Homo-oligomer: A and B are copies of this chain.
Amino acid sequence: MWFCAVRSDDLGKPGAFRTVQVGRESVIVSRAKDGSIRAFLNVCRHRGARLCAEESGEVRRAFQCAYHAWTYDLEGKLIAAPNLTKMPDIDRVAYGLVKVHVREWLGYVWVCLADEPPSFEEDVLGAVVTRLGDLTSIENYGVENLKVGRRIVYDVKANWKLIVENFMECYHCATIHPELTEVLPEFADGYAAQYFIGHGAEFGAGIQGFTVDGSPGVDRIPGVTEDQDRRYYAITIKPQVFVNLVPDHAIVHRMFPLAADRTVVECDWLFLPEVVESGRDLGPSVELFHKVNEQDFDACERCQPGMSSRAYANGGVLVPSEHHIAIFHDWVAGRLGLTR
């Protein structure tokens, strides 16, 4: 599947790289000489050493293995190694880095480890269309042009699927999200924005912005329509991305499942570049969803140990406002080749 790996902006100039864990593989995402993005398995073809041991960094013109100095250019081609000229049987392309498929969208680099990746249009864009009704609705926010105003990384002791289930329903909102339901009163009824195609949850009457205290937010994104103003939209892009849209910012979650009971979630708060550069206080905007994240991840951690209980052997029960989660369960079972 397509996996949202890195914010493109985090790869400033050619040679900049990030390493991310995608399932069992470490992947290098980097910017090539021509400014485009490439991704490779983070493994030297010679003896298997990690090529980049750091989470991020910058190389000049090539990746050089610290073990035997095998050297790969920014396109992944093997360009140098001790005695390489005396080794005619070492093909420089065949022993180049193992390439990983790459797409850019919303200002993020999405990677796919499959030999033949599935359709990005169907899987990723399709998820947005299914949720919002069309692509224009998200394009209005120009998420690819926004800047990261704040990034928070959460280490959650729960399976990623619990985090997806949690994000897909709002039956829990009245119980654990007092700040959010203050801003979005309809969430107190338990119906998540995601439940109705194209629907965005409306801000409460006295609410001036999507902030922890309802105070005004920052500059509205120009492309946002009147219909979209004063509304919150949430989109789940399986398997590991949540996109949240409000008039003056976007919040994007990327999940990195690291174990059956551990998921690292990297969450970006994205604003207009001039807002970020102005140094304005983003605290009230960030604080709202940071609280929501903490409340949600606490709940997920509370569920994790019960997953193996005989009391949960049948998977609990879904109330009407959660019934769309059954579609997620069917999808998981299908991907695992299970019949239910």
Chain A positions within 8 Å of B, measured between CB atoms, are: 24-26, 41-50, 53, 66-69, 81-83, 86-87, 90, 95, 97-98, 165, 171-172, 174-176, 190, 299, 302-303, 305-312, 316-317, 319-321
B67 contacts A303, C-beta separation under 8 Å: yes
A159 to chain B, nearest CB (A): 11
Report chain B residues within 8 Å CB of A66. Answer: 175-176, 299, 302
Complex Cα gap A69–B173 (Å): 10
A26 contacts B317, C-beta separation under 8 Å: no
**Which single residue of chain B is at the shortest CB-CB distance from A188?**
B82
Report chain B residues within 8 Å CB of A26. Answer: 305-306, 309
**Which single residue of chain B is at the shortest CB-CB distance from A175?**
B69
Report chain B residues within 8 Å CB of A68. Answer: 171-172, 175
The dominant DSSP class at the A interface is loop
Complex Cα gap A305–B26 (Å): 9
B303 contacts A171, C-beta separation under 8 Å: no
A329 to chain B, nearest CB (A): 12
Q: Which 4 A-B pairs have the closest CB atoms?
A: A48-B306, A43-B311, A48-B312, A41-B311
Report chain B residues within 8 Å CB of A320. Answer: 83, 86-87
A41, A69, A305 interface centre (most CB from chain B within 10 Å): A305
Report chain B residues within 8 Å CB of A43. Answer: 306, 309, 311-312
**Which single residue of chain B is at the shortest CB-CB distance from A315?**
B48
Identical subunits present: 3
Complex Cα gap A61–B310 (Å): 26
A267 to chain B, nearest CB (A): 21
- Using A67-B176, A83-B321, A317-B90 as known contacts, say yes or no to A309 and B25 having CB atoms under 8 A apart: yes
A69 contacts B174, C-beta separation under 8 Å: yes
B95 contacts A302, C-beta separation under 8 Å: no
A87, A98, A305, A317 interface centre (most CB from chain B within 10 Å): A317
Report chain B residues within 8 Å CB of A312. Answer: 43, 48
A293 to chain B, nearest CB (A): 15
Report chain B residues within 8 Å CB of A42. Answer: 306
Known: A48-B311, A48-B312, A50-B303. 7 other contacts (CB 8 A): A26-B306, A43-B311, A49-B302, A66-B175, A66-B176, A90-B319, A98-B310
A306 to chain B, nearest CB (A): 4
B311 contacts A50, C-beta separation under 8 Å: no
**Which single residue of chain B is at the shortest CB-CB distance from A322?**
B47
A51 to chain B, nearest CB (A): 9
Complex Cα gap A45–B171 (Å): 15
Report chain B residues within 8 Å CB of A82. Answer: 171, 174-175, 190
B86 contacts A50, C-beta separation under 8 Å: no
B95 contacts A46, C-beta separation under 8 Å: no
A294 to chain B, nearest CB (A): 13
B87 contacts A319, C-beta separation under 8 Å: yes
A165 contacts B47, C-beta separation under 8 Å: yes
